[in-house]
Structure 1
Amino acid sequence: MESGKFFPAMRGEMLDQTAATDVQNAAPPTDGHIAGSSVSGDVPLLDEQTPTRWEKVRLHSGAKQKFKWEYAAAQPTRRWNYFITRIDWNSSSPLTRAQFEVKPFCTIQNPGQPFWDPNAKLMPQEPTVHICDLPKRTGYHIILAVWEIANSPMAFYQIVDATFEEPKSSSSSH
């Protein structure tokens, strides 16, 4: 879904703190509409949230996790942020900023500037793969992946519903 960049900010017309020449942001999605808000038309179905509403991928708590991005149209990219729900989040309530950790558990930053300089090397590889260390979690949690564009006020938002399991032990018991 495409919406304003700089989540968890709540307003638009902000400058990037690490790249002041980047385009200012549009307002990010509002609380309760984080999954389904889009400039091309909201999808309220995606904002429905219950413990059993969505199929979940199985992930291992504290493990390294591969995230793969494929693009319909690659754009000069400032960063990718990966947020996760708090340990005590309410899986029966709509997604709000209060449901997520304040800081991303993983950030991939493109430092090149200014965005209009081809030597800044801001175009992502196709596909783009990130390896991130997952936080310690058990049970149902949501990962919010955000791809922020340097030459646009927008970002792309992707939700991953996951069931976290303890990592498999490498030792065997007799």
Structure 2
Amino acid sequence: MSARRRTVTLLRIASAGLAPLAVAAYAAAPAVAHGSMTDPVSRVAACYAEGPESPRSGACKAAVAASGAQAFYDWNAVNIANAAGNHRSLIPNGQLCSAGNDKYQGLDLARADWPASPMKAGAHTFRYKGTAPHRGSFELYVTKDGYDPAKPLAWSDLEPAPFAKVTDPGMRNGDYVFSGTVPNKSGRHLIYSIWQRSDSPEAFYTCSDVVFGKDNGGSAPKPSGKPSSKPSAKPSDAATPSEAPTEAPSAPTDQQIADGSGKSSVEHNGHGDNDPKTNGNAAAAAAPVSSIPAQAPAPQGGNLAETGGSSATPAIAIGGAGVLATGAAVLFALARRRAATGRHGR
């Protein structure tokens, strides 16, 4: 074999041998997280704001006990990677709040004491913290009259049609902001959100507990099984151990998000490709649902995300390429040395 052919062969071997290292490093990049509802505050966001290590409310304490603190440090990643709009067929009844993900099973606890945001019928401005913005659509559903929070949430508990639906809403201070008309309800209810990306089959889900007027604890029966003669917010009237909420939930602040990001197992900021074809709109805009443009302009100067990567991706890719280049250079030098030795020995 000629020196040239030996060199080419060795280079091919180097590429084949070192490429898996670069691929493995790429695969080790943290998953990309995307966000959660903050107005009204979702269960997972509320418990994260309380503190995953020492939550205050009885419901969040129980949720952390069921799921572990890590699930709440990963508060912005309740998703299904390949949903593609098939939400009802992929998520079983009783597991809507966790999106069928065991990691978040604490969010599915059937309790009448989840911290609940005050809500009124009529126009409302909704906010959804987008830690990695994308193009896509939001749908909001509210529970039917007679909803019982002390029973596992089923798809049949939701009104059949979303009361708000918007595509590519604008962003303000890191939140998607859009408007909708909330139907007339009374007592304790739940608002369920579905964020389906249009540039990927991935979708995200949230459960936000709300109270219209006075908190009646839902329509849960008493522990004895006998129907309650009148609604009551007392803990003893709930079908599961609970504590009456003393205050509305709070959304996590930017400082809380920053402080907890180091303990999160998911990446928060996307990987900044700035591609208007795949990413969301970070422009400051809050328009009514009916007037949101279908194609929002690309954000300026923000970090965005796309499927399957994170902000660490470019560095990992560069590192992998560097490994390949270094290995190839070493083998190339060895091959040239051997070729030179062969020529001199003739």
Same fold (TM over 0.5): yes
Contact 1:80–1:145 (CA<8 Å) still a contact in 2?
Answer: yes
Could you tell me which runs of 5 or more consecutive residues in structure 2 were left unpaired when the two chains were aligned.
1-77, 215-346
Contact 2:196–2:203 (CA<8 Å) still a contact in 1?
Answer: yes
Matches within 5 A, 1:76-155: 76-77=135-136, 79-110=137-168, 125=171, 126-155=174-203
Instruction: Say whether 1:165 aligns with 2:224.
Output: no
Contact 1:68–1:128 (CA<8 Å) still a contact in 2?
Answer: yes
1:109 shift after superposition: 2.8
1:6 shift after superposition: 2.8
Contact 2:79–2:99 (CA<8 Å) still a contact in 1?
Answer: yes
Could you tell me which runs of 5 or more consecutive residues in structure 1 were left unpaired when the two chains were aligned.
11-26, 111-122, 167-174
Match of 2:117 in 1: 57
* SS across alignment from 2:119: strand
Deviations 1:75-116 (A, max 9, x none): 221x11000000122221111101101110111135xxxxxx
Match of 2:125 in 1: 66
Q: Which has the higher strand share?
A: 1
Match of 2:88 in 1: 9
Taking every aligned residue pair, what percent have the same amino acid on both sides? 19
Give the length in aligned residue pairs: 133
1:128 shift after superposition: 1.6
1:74 shift after superposition: 1.0
Q: 1:70 to 1:145 in 2, by over 3 A?
A: same
- Aligned-pair Cα RMSD in Å: 2.1
* SS across alignment from 2:130: coil
Question: Which one has the largest radius of gyration?
Answer: 2
Q: TM-score, normalised by structure 1?
A: 0.69
Q: How far apart in 1 are the matches of 2:95 and 2:134?
A: 24
Q: How far apart in 1 are the matches of 2:195 and 2:187?
A: 26
Contact 2:92–2:100 (CA<8 Å) still a contact in 1?
Answer: no
Q: Which has the higher helix share?
A: 2
